[in-house]
Homo-oligomer: A and B are copies of this chain.
């Protein structure tokens, strides 16, 4: 597996007080690598989460949704190589067995155990392998963040992590996160999972609210291929070990700083997923402004970011702004051809419904040769704006998703 040309080195992630990581080889596939990640969380840890909007969620997603209503966590188990999705009662039984095994070994409640799995769909997760893997992880030495980031990966080409610090109530709190995902977001081997751990003390209701806001600006604004998985899950755990006065609402001292840090780490992690987009060679930022509303801007931005013709033009380093016009036009949102303006990088290419006078393609062509591409659209209608991130569509994507059988 070739590492993505957009890869970033794994950062230096510090321990987070109250969090202990282990990895094990459950051998969900015929591979010789850690594929079960176990995270032990100190008593009092609070949890928040967002899960896929798919109408066909995995049993892990359903389990997490139910457990999230209680807001407490003592353990996280992540399986790689088998998503356990679309497996009926046997899939549900596997998740229950995992929670029971951890609860039995550690004395916590099954509902304190969070479970996430990605990998092949339609094959029930083998309970014996999961149980043996949990037993091995419980006996294993502490693992590093990078080992965990690798153990949760499937088709990822590099380990992904981020760290952000904030001052809350006079204490330095740490947020450390790992994420996996490369095809956004295939159910078989490339679903997105993200896990964030902090030693801050936060009320679970507030953490949930903050995570929802951060997710809307980060993980919900990335797309590789417009596909949405049955297993997408982002969980945030707060151990409270930093000793700050617990954040209760947005008016609590330090809540703003913590909120900004959470948005920051979610944004960093989400961009790493795009950087590992299947076949990606360009990281693309799509900025839409002047829309009738933020929601409308978002629909238009995603229409551009998901357009195969826009994405292949970027792959070909082709200043084909007509395809951006097309993607705006097809979005179905309010748009006026004759007030539309488009830029590539810092160069305006079209405005007022036609190419700019004396349009010079040279600076655009130079921008498109880089690996960080920016497309700006001003609809000229209102104040609505949105930013989404995506990658180009290349032969690599086809090879990864079509050729592995041939």
Residues of A within 8 A of B (CB): 52-57, 83, 85-88, 90-91, 120-123, 183, 186-188, 225-230, 306-309, 312-313, 315-318, 320-323, 325-338, 340, 350, 352-355, 392-395, 397-399, 401-406
Beta-carbon nearest neighbor of A310 in chain B: B227
How near does chain B come to A63, taking the closest CB pair, in angstroms?
14
Interface centre among A55, A87, A317, A352 (most CB of B within 10 A): A55
> By the criterion CB–CB under 8 Å, are B398 and A315 in contact?
yes
The DSSP consensus for interface residues of chain A is loop
> By the criterion CB–CB under 8 Å, are A121 and B325 in contact?
yes
How near does chain B come to A295, taking the closest CB pair, in angstroms?
15
Q: Supply 10 further A-B pairs (C-beta < 8 A) apart from A86-B322, A227-B327, A308-B397.
A: A55-B332, A55-B336, A56-B335, A87-B354, A122-B321, A187-B325, A230-B325, A230-B326, A312-B401, A318-B402
Beta-carbon nearest neighbor of A55 in chain B: B335
How near does chain B come to A282, taking the closest CB pair, in angstroms?
11
Contacting residues, chain B, for A307 (C-beta < 8 A): 225-227
> By the criterion CB–CB under 8 Å, are B56 and A308 in contact?
no
How near does chain B come to A24, taking the closest CB pair, in angstroms?
26
Contacting residues, chain B, for A87 (C-beta < 8 A): 354-355
> By the criterion CB–CB under 8 Å, are B402 and A57 in contact?
no
Contacting residues, chain B, for A317 (C-beta < 8 A): 405-406
> By the criterion CB–CB under 8 Å, are B405 and A329 in contact?
no
